[in-house]
Structure 1
Amino acid sequence: MALALWLAPALVCAQTTTGQQQQQPDQTQTQTAPSTEIPATEGTQERAEVLRQAQARVKARRKLRIQQIVQDTYTHKYETYFGGGYLRFRPGANLQHINEGGWNVGVTDYLKGKLGVTADFRGYYGTTYTNVNYYQIFSPSISQYTFLAGPTARFYESQHWGWTGHVLAGVGHGNFSTGTGGLDGTLIGLYPDGNSFNMEVGASVDYNLGPGLAIRLTPNYLMTRYGSGTQNNLGFTSGVVYRFGRQ
């Protein structure tokens, strides 16, 4: 009995010590668990910042690349172009308008920056519809040619698109009696053959296929002075532009 009384306090002390040891790890885990969330949040913020910086570098490189392409495209000194055209033209003072188709070719020398000088050559061809006449000639063919020059200005430049405007003036030549079988065209209401003052105003839209090559569309107004009157003609030209002579 004395032995049992002597061992009882020791057993109680041992159980108390074991319980405290079991509680300490749990408390340690409870205290340390919240601290693990802070590094995870900081890591997410760091990854987001790294991603943002990478995107900024990509945008900067893309911007520099586009700027280089624009510079390579519009630092050429010369442009030459060729293609076809359309013109709505009145072949005689009392005749109806006709549709003419043709060709055009030209070259531009950019003397200073966006300002240049253009020389342009065109040919138009069509079939007229004359009024009832004694000579029984009702649909003779006609042709006309223009030789023009003047200033050109480029007012918009980008990687894919370019816009230019020009005002050209010079001489036009009309052949209005070539399809009449030798009859003077004025007898059936056509303008007389000969030269006249011509002036053309146009605005071109270029779509760049590369720094040295583009497709061009140019709506234009062409004024002619055949006979004793002024003809106000609307039309357009389209074709290919080739740039060369990079400065």
Structure 2
Amino acid sequence: MALALWLAPALVCAQTTTQQQPDQQTEQQPAQTQTQTAPSTEIPATEGTQERAEVLRQAQLRVKARRKLRVQQIIQDTYTHKYETYFGGGYLRFRPGSTLQHINEGGWNVGVTDYLKGKIGVTADFRGYYGTTWTYINQYQIFSPSISQYTFMAGPTVRFFEGQHWGWSGHVLAGVGHGNFDTGTGGLPASYIGLYSNGNSVNVTAGASVDYNLGPGLAIRLTPNYLMTRYGSETQNNLGFTSGIVYRFGRQ
């Protein structure tokens, strides 16, 4: 009897330990199951990210396509006009006499272009230049007479680049010019003080124009150019530029 009482606590402890082990195993199994199933949730998340990235990429492509079409429409609206007219001012570096120094002349410029076929057109151009010369000491006491000259030219114009904001073109024009070199001499013949005599001259010009488009029918133009004149049986090679406004009309 005493032996049974002594062994009873040991049996109760063993039974308690045996019951706890299955409970611990039961608790560990859900934790392991959660740990094993966790990686499977990353696959849908990755697929969702890829789908969102693809949707954004397609949206960007559509925006770019619409922008490209809009730019093409603007270019077409700008350069399908048949006529251009332009006006503004100009500058020319000119030698008024074979023994005199170059002077600066300022003036006006106006013209019109008819685009007969695509990028090829015909231009008529009119200019006037005005300046003051510096002559050497002379017995007539005329040292800074004013002069003027006018040009009337025509020829082909070609567009080289047609963009939304910028356009480039070039032209070669030929015609006739007229020089008034005794405007400020008080009736004295201009040749007496080293100036060329009044008269007509062959004129040839070549220039390259840069247009900045303010809209399909309006632009600002800058044209550096070369102008050849022949006064006094001599050739004058003159450099300058014109600038002004271009107005387009007659859309085809």
TM-score of the alignment, normalized to the shorter chain, above 0.5? yes
Deviation track 1:216-244 (CA, whole Å, cap 9, x = no partner) reads 11000000111111111000001111111
Deviation of the 1:33 alpha carbon? 0.8
SS of the residue corresponding to residue 231 of structure 2 reads: coil
Q: Find the counterpart in structure 1 of residue 184 from structure 2.
A: 179
Tell me what 1:33 maps to.
38
Single out whichever of 224-233 and 44-53 deviates more from structure 2.
44-53
1:86 is aligned to 91
> Alpha-carbon deviation of 1:18?
3.8
Distance 1:122 1:187 in 2: 27
**Matches of 1:180 and 1:115 in 2, distance apart?**
45
Q: In structure 2, what is the equivalent of residue 111 of structure 1?
A: 116
1:42-191 to structure 2, matched below 5 A, reads 42-191=47-196
Q: Aligned pairs, how many?
A: 246
| CA-CA distance at 1:83 after TM superposition | 0.5
What is the CA RMSD across the aligned residues, in angstroms? 2.2
Instruction: State the alpha-carbon separation in 2 of the partners of residues 203 and 8 from structure 1.
Output: 108
Tell me the distance in 2 between the aligned counterparts of 1:163 and 1:141: 35
In 2, Cα distance between the equivalents of 1:209 and 1:196? 37
Q: Which residue identity is paired with 2:168?
A: W
Q: After alignment, is 17-26 or 65-74 more displaced?
A: 17-26
Q: Distance in 2 between matches of 1:14 and 1:88?
A: 113
Structure 1 equivalent of residue 6 of structure 2: none
Identity %: 82
Question: Which residue of 2 is the match for residue 226 of structure 1?
Answer: 231
List alignment gaps of at least 5 residues for structure 2: 1-8
Q: Return the index of the structure with the highest Cα Rg.
A: 2
Question: What is the rounded CA distance, in whole Å, between the counterparts of 1:23 and 1:152 in structure 2?
Answer: 89
Describe the SS at the equivalent of 1:33.
helix
Q: Compute the TM-score of the two structures, normalised by the length of structure 1.
A: 0.92
State the Cα deviation string for residues 33-65 of structure 1 (Å, max 9, x = none): 110111111111111111221212111111111
For residues 115 and 10 of structure 1, the distance between their equivalents in structure 2, rounded to whole angstroms, comes to 108
Shift of 1:147: 0.5
Per mean C-alpha deviation after superposition, the further-off stretch among 62-71 and 235-244 is 62-71
Q: TM-score, normalised by structure 2?
A: 0.91
Instruction: Tell which deviates more after alignment, 237-246 or 23-32.
Output: 23-32
Q: 1:8 offset after TM fit, Å?
A: 10
Match of 2:248?
Answer: 243
Matched to 1:139, the amino acid is: S
The one-letter code sitting in structure 1 at the alignment partner of 2:41 is: T
